[in-house]
């Protein structure tokens, strides 16, 4: 009977060790973004809807699953366990199927991102009805991102002080607009900034998702080949 290829066995181990490390990184970064107020402030997540935090929770789950699969793959390869290798194959195949589905849906529904964000932000108007904490956070966001208001610009603030929207004289003219009272404020709305952020990161996410497909197919091939070799011993 044919033996198990040592090269394939250790290649499978190294592949899954890297897979496990990636899971640790995803899990660690996701938990950091979820619990760290400083990280949320740095990445502009404080104004994000609950949908974004749900995405971070999903990443925590994905990181955990990848860690488990990496462990199964490593142990399955070194111990030549058919059960572990089969569980690894099934788990990785399900992730691959979900990943491809999510990537396709991401491409299909990408144009709807702006509509969904505007719908969510519209529910926050008028801004004067929001809590002082929210208003303070939004004003900080406006200063950092050089935007004003959510959907309709400075009008969203009503009669409130809009000094956080103030556009300096040294700024590019295209960035500024003038209110009826003669105050120069940023022209771009914070909704537009949010849409740009989501669209840019969605493109990156889609690219990573499809890029990982090739790596996962290699993992599936390794595990099934090693499984067949162990079975034929």
pLDDT in tens, 93-130: 888 887 777 767 766 776 776 677 667 777 777 777 77
**What is the per-residue pLDDT for 44?**
53
Parent domain of 207: 6-115+202-231
Number of domains in the chain: 1
For the entire predicted model, the pTM comes to 0.56
Residue with tokens 């971070």: 56
In contact, 20 and 63? CB cutoff 8 Å: no
Query: Is 149 inside a domain boundary?
Result: no
Pairwise CA distance, residues 148 & 67, whole Å: 43
Tokens encoding 50: 């609950």
The CA–CA distances, whole Å, from 73 to 45, 122, 232 equal: 35, 47, 19
Query: Is 56 inside a domain boundary?
Result: yes
Q: Where are the beta strands (DSSP E) in 92-232?
A: 176-178, 184-186
Query: Is 215 inside a domain boundary?
Result: yes
In contact, 177 and 171? CB cutoff 8 Å: no
Query: Is 226 inside a domain boundary?
Result: yes
Pairwise CA distance, residues 174 & 225, whole Å: 60
Pairwise CA distance, residues 216 & 138, whole Å: 41
Query: Is 103 inside a domain boundary?
Result: yes
Pairwise CA distance, residues 56 & 11, whole Å: 32
DSSP states along 100-111: HHHHHHHHHHGG
Query: Is 129 inside a domain boundary?
Result: no
The DSSP letter of residue 162 is -
Query: Is 100 inside a domain boundary?
Result: yes
Query: Is 185 inside a domain boundary?
Result: no
pLDDT tens-digit series, residues 51-86? 556 667 777 887 888 888 888 888 888 888 888 888
């Amino acid at each position: 009977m044919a033996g198990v290829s040592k090269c394939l066995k250790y290649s499978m181990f190294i592949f899954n060790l890297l897979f496990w490390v990636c899971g640790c990184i995803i899990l660690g970064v996701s938990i950091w973004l979820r619990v760290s107020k400083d990280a949320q402030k740095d990445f502009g997540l404080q104004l994000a809807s609950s949908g974004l935090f749900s995405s971070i929770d999903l990443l925590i789950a994905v990181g955990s699953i990848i860690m488990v699969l990496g462990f199964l793959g490593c142990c399955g390869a070194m111990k030549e366990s058919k059960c572990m290798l089969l569980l690894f194959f099934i788990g990785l195949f399900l992730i691959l199927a979900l990943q491809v589905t999510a990537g396709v849906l991401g491409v299909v529904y990408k144009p709807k991102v702006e509509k969904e964000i505007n719908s969510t932000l519209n529910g926050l108007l008028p801004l004067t009805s929001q809590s002082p904490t929210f208003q303070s956070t939004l004003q900080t966001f406006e200063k950092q991102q050089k935007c004003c208001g959510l959907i309709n610009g400075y009008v969203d603030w009503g009669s409130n002080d809009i000094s956080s929207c103030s556009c300096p004289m040294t700024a590019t003219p295209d960035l500024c607009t003038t209110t009826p009272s003669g105050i120069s404020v940023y022209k771009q709305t914070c909704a537009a900034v949010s849409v740009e952020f989501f669209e840019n990161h969605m493109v990156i996410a889609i690219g990573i998702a499809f890029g990982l497909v090739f790596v996962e197919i290699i993992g599936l091939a390794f595990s099934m080949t090693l499984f067949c070799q162990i079975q034929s011993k």
